Copies of this chain bind each other. A is one copy, B any other.
Amino acid sequence: MEQSRPLDALNRARNKRVLVELKNNKQYFGTLLAFDIHINTVLADAEEHVNGELKRKLGTLFIRGDTITILSPQ
């Protein structure tokens, strides 16, 4: 049986709402449009949350992969 790879989990989350958290503690909620092996990530309809509160609506958002700590489908 072939074993699961981490990017498979990201593929299953395409076009779904996800939470992305950064090393600077900011949270972004949005629809996962794209990612690559560096975990560079693009969200649509992105919202930035800080300390649990909506801070900004950002629309399309490119996040540089090396700044990401976790990504979780909502």
Using CB atoms and an 8 Å cutoff, list the residues of chain A in contact with chain B. 3-10, 13-14, 19, 22-26, 28, 33-36, 39-42, 46, 58-73
Residues of B within 8 Å of A24, CB to CB, are: 23, 25, 69
User: Shortest distance in angstroms between A49's beta carbon and chain B's nearest beta carbon?
Assistant: 13
Total copies of this chain within the assembly: 7
Q: Is the CB of A3 within 8 A of B34?
A: yes
Residues of B within 8 Å of A9, CB to CB, are: 33-34, 42, 60, 62
User: Shortest distance in angstroms between A40's beta carbon and chain B's nearest beta carbon?
Assistant: 4
Q: Considering only CB atoms, which chain B residue lies closest to A12 in the complex?
A: B60
Q: Is the CB of B71 within 8 A of A6?
A: no
CA distance A45 to B65 in the complex (A): 24
